């Protein structure tokens, strides 16, 4: 679909969103999450894709009403932005920034450096060695930050670069970027971003720091080692992103998460919850019981992080179960899950987000509201 047509469709959906009565989405009398979070000085955001707005006024309405911040799920990754080395394609991003401007929302960028979601040509170019890799990254960061300078002021510069404890004793994952440029590729990327735009918020983003497992214990230690080393080397970094892909049945320790966040804050860094949702190991049991467990872990995690005083935003990785990656991806690989969690889902659709597939508020919505208000659960 041509970019202009897509833009017209999305703006049309956004306009129709204004005429939907709140009762149509079972909203009750409560204010939207963006207003509740704002009382605590926080933006509340959700991940979106441009094509989710098309033909679904419920999605447009819910996103416009509930979120004060958007993050493109895919359209600021290399795969969408760089179909060819000589081509930068922002057609999937433009409708999102236009929608955000229309509804008083800000936009986060995700992500400038990641080893996944790249085209074949990118992997082949990185195989040519460090000079090629550095030039490729420098051109990418310069063009992308230049294009988005007026619309995106907060970027995940790097995503998921710390090695998973179960398959490596190294600090960094063995990725095409590491093999091409060397272990200083993260420092190089963050310095490039700061040089291109000194006022940007630069974030390192990762998963696996949320629970009380041996995996999470070691992942937290490694993330702290990474960002602590960057601070020692005077690498420009402003925040650590906790993805918050929670696991419904995994243990949670408020003490461990608090200690981790305070250690990040002690490095003069902020914390952002960047991709909150709940991964379910099975989806065949009673939905009400599952929703209750999801709400409980969400409230515990978000409340714990907020109580440290160093969290600057909370974002869910989507707004409605209908578009969650946990329902569109056939299985959750070990790299996305945690030890002991199921790969393929068993049963019906997962319920990982604040709204169901009919845009009705779920217990997770109320858990977030109470966390923002500093109230206990339930």
Average pLDDT rounded to a whole number, residues 86-101: 97
Cβ count within 10 A of residue 172? 16
CB distance 239 to 312 below 8 Å: yes
Cα 358 to Cα 62, 247, 301, 362, distances in angstroms: 10, 23, 26, 11
| Spatial CA neighbour of 125 closest among 86, 92, 94 | 86
Judge whether residue 31 has pLDDT over 50. Answer: yes
Judge whether residue 42 has pLDDT over 60. Answer: yes
| Cα distance between residue 65 and residue 62, in whole Å | 5
Average pLDDT rounded to a whole number, residues 369-378: 96
Confidence of residue 28 (pLDDT cuts 50, 70, 90): low
User: DSSP 3-state assignment of 25?
Assistant: helix
Q: For 291-331, how does the pLDDT look when each residue is reduced to its tens digit (9 = 90+)?
A: 999 999 999 999 999 999 999 999 999 999 999 998 877 55
> C-alpha 341: how far from its chain's center?
21
* Domain spans, the chain: 30-373
Give me the percent of the chain exceeding a pLDDT of 70: 88
Strand partners, 205: 159, 241
Confidence of residue 266 (pLDDT cuts 50, 70, 90): very high
Cα 171 to Cα 51, 69, 119, 163, 260, distances in angstroms: 37, 32, 26, 6, 17
| Spatial CA neighbour of 30 closest among 303, 301, 378, 365 | 365
List phi, psi (to 5°) of 133. Answer: -65, -45
Confidence of residue 335 (pLDDT cuts 50, 70, 90): very low
Judge whether residue 343 has pLDDT over 80. Answer: no
Q: For 158-208, how does the pLDDT look when each residue is reduced to its tens digit (9 = 90+)?
A: 999 999 998 899 999 999 999 999 999 999 999 999 999 999 999 999 999
- Stretch (H or E) spanning 153: strand 152-159
Judge whether residue 8 has pLDDT over 90. Answer: no
Cβ count within 10 A of residue 165? 18
Q: What would the CATH number be for the domain defined by 30-373?
A: 3.20.20.80
- Stretch (H or E) spanning 241: strand 239-242
Tokens 């461990």 found at? 256
What pTM value is reported for the model?
0.90
């Amino acid at each position: 679909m041509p970019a202009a047509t897509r833009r017209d469709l999305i703006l049309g959906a956004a306009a129709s969103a204004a005429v939907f009565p709140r009762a149509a989405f079972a909203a009750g009398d409560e204010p939207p999450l963006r207003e509740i979070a704002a009382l605590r000085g926080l933006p509340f955001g959700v991940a979106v894709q441009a094509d989710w707005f098309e033909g679904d006024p419920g999605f447009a309405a819910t996103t416009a009403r509930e979120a004060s911040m958007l993050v493109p799920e895919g359209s600021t990754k290399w795969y969408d932005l760089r179909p060819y080395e000589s081509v930068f394609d922002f057609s999937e991003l433009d409708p999102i920034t236009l929608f955000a401007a229309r509804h008083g929302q800000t936009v986060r960028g995700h992500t400038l450096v990641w080893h996944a979601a790249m085209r074949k040509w990118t992997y082949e170019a990185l195989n040519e060695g460090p000079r090629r890799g550095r030039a490729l990254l420098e051109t990418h960061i310069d063009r992308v930050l230049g294009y988005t300078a007026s619309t995106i002021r907060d970027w995940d510069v790097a995503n998921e670069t710390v090695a998973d404890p179960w398959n490596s004793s190294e600090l960094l994952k063995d990725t095409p970027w590491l093999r091409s440029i060397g272990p200083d590729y993260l420092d190089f990327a963050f310095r490039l971003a700061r040089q291109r735009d000194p006022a940007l918020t630069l974030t390192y983003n990762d998963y696996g720091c949320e629970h009380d497992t041996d995996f999470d214990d070691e992942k937290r230690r490694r993330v702290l080692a990474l960002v602590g080393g960057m601070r020692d080397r005077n690498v420009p970094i402003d925040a650590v992103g906790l993805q918050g892909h929670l696991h419904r049945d995994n243990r949670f320790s408020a003490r461990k998460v608090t200690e981790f966040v305070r250690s990040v804050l002690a490095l003069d860094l902020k914390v952002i919850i960047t991709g909150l949702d709940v991964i379910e190991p099975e989806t065949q049991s009673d939905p009400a019981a599952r929703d209750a467990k999801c709400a409980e872990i969400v409230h515990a995690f978000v409340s714990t992080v907020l109580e440290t005083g160093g969290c600057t935003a909370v974002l869910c990785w989507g707004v409605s179960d209908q578009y969650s990656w946990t329902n569109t991806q056939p299985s959750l690989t070990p790299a996305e899950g945690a030890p002991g969690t199921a790969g393929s889902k068993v049963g019906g659709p997962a319920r990982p987000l604040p709204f169901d597939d009919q845009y009705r508020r779920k217990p997770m919505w109320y858990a977030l509201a109470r966390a923002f208000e500093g109230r206990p659960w339930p």
